[in-house]
Amino acid sequence: MAVSGQEPWLDGNAGRLVRPYQVSGGRTRPAHPLNLLSLVKATGREAAPRHGPEHARILELCRRAPVPVAELAAHLRLPVAVTKVLVADLIDHGAVQTRHPGAATDPSDPIVLEALLDGLRQRL
Amino acid sequence: MACGNACDDEFPAAAKVLVAGGFGVGKTTFIGAVSEITPLSTEELITAASVGTDSLAGVAGKSTTTVAFDFGRITVDARHVLYLFGTPGQERFWFLWNELSNGALGAVVLVDTRRLTGSFEAVDFFERRGIPFLVAINEFDGAFRYEPEEVRAALRLGPDVPVVPCDARAARSATSVLVALVRHLLARAVSSRPV
Ligand SMILES: Nc1nc2c(ncn2[C@@H]2O[C@H](COP(=O)(O)OP(=O)(O)OP(=O)(O)O)[C@@H](O)[C@H]2O)c(=O)[nH]1
Ligand SMILES: [Mg+2]
């Protein structure tokens, strides 16, 4: 199926329309490199007075266990790009620590793959 | 931010698998069946993801739009979490596939035997990028049952690509697809390593 190029972008399949974000002050590029699976964990430090309710919600979501950026975005109902900006604000403030997925993303690491295989088999 | 061994224990290893395929093949259903959380719908800004803009300042006042993708999670053990990302079906949103596939272990390409070729683009995408994948035939009720070898021929799959049947609605069946994928990844990993 070829894309005609004539189709309007903003139709029912394109998702909801969003206004440029007040929550991130219109920023879409975070000050720290983050990806969909960057894990975010609250350090226990509260958000700053300048932060908004979305920042507080992020801290709430990742207080107990690390949560990836993609999952935070889903809970916040905010686009990933905007969520990354908010997480970066919290990194600057020392309110969260982040960790990028490491060894587990090496598809040729048999140790990780064996662990995944064992864990998945137990669910069968 | 100091982060010694103490926080290594707090952060599990995060692995990513993509669930791809044509429109309506059962991607959301598959993720819902295996995920321990209700599949979440995550959104990305089309402007930011597609053209990599630094800021929306230039489009202030105008509206921008989003594209959604499914997201699920399986806590495999205390140290490993597997995240599943469903790709948006429509071709014009495939720029997002690049970001989604970045760092992915591999992919499940679902096919609906009523529209075999609907998943051809997904196969092509992973082949081009060298991302290991398998093909899972989602057996819709009343649909014609193809033999795996017929599907292999129709999608022009190489002999090394596993083709397995599944029922995307059933947790056990969908989980066994993931087991087959990880086995495939292991076989590749072992064969590519010097002895
Ligand atoms: N009978 C049967 N129905 C299925 C199966 N898998 C999915 N369905 C149904 O098929 C429809 C489409 O499934 P989805 O999971 O939404 O497909 P999708 O790939 O996410 O669709 P898009 O995101 O729109 O591309 C839904 O109504 C499902 O309930 C299956 O294995 N058997
Ligand atoms: Mg879907």
Sketch out chain A's domains with CATH numbers.
Answer: 16-121 (1.10.10)
Interface with B, mutate which of A4, A21, A36, A90 (most B CBs under 10 A): A36
Q: Where are the alpha helices (DSSP H) in chain B?
A: 5-10, 27-34, 46-51, 95-101, 120-129, 148-154, 171-192
Distance CA A72, CA A57 (A): 9
CA within 13 Å, CB half, B39: 20
Contacts of A37 by beta carbon, 8 Å cutoff, 6+ apart = A68, A69, A70, A100, A101, A105, B14, B16, B83, B103
Q: Which residues of A touch B46 (CB under 8 A)?
A: 9, 14
Domain ranges of chain B: 13-191
pLDDT tens profile B81-109: 999 999 887 766 777 888 889 889 999 99
Give contacts of B 71-110 with A, CB under 8 A.
Answer: 71, 73-74, 76-77, 79-80, 82-83, 85, 90-92, 99-100, 102-106
More confident residue, A64 or A4: A64
ipTM reported for the complex, 2 dp: 0.85
Superfamily of domain B13-191 in the CATH hierarchy: P-loop containing nucleotide triphosphate hydrolases (3.40.50.300)
**B26: which 2 tokens?**
């059962």
Q: SS3 of B119, please?
A: helix
- Measured from the Cα of B166, ligand 1's closest atom is 31
pLDDT tens by residue, A5-19:
333 344 444 455 454
Atom of ligand 1 nearest to the CA of B24: 21
User: Do B67 and A14 count as a contact with CB atoms less than 8 A apart?
Assistant: yes
Check residues A18 and B28 and name the one with the higher pLDDT.
Answer: B28
The CA-based angle B25-B28-B30, given to 5 degrees, is 80
Instruction: Give contacts of A 49-108 with B, CB under 8 A.
Output: 65-66, 68, 70-71, 73-75, 77-82, 91, 94, 97, 99, 101-105, 107-108
pTM of the model: 0.85
Name the nearest CA neighbour of A121 among B178, B108, B162.
B178
Closest to B21 (Cα-Cα) out of B163, B100, B117, B152: B117
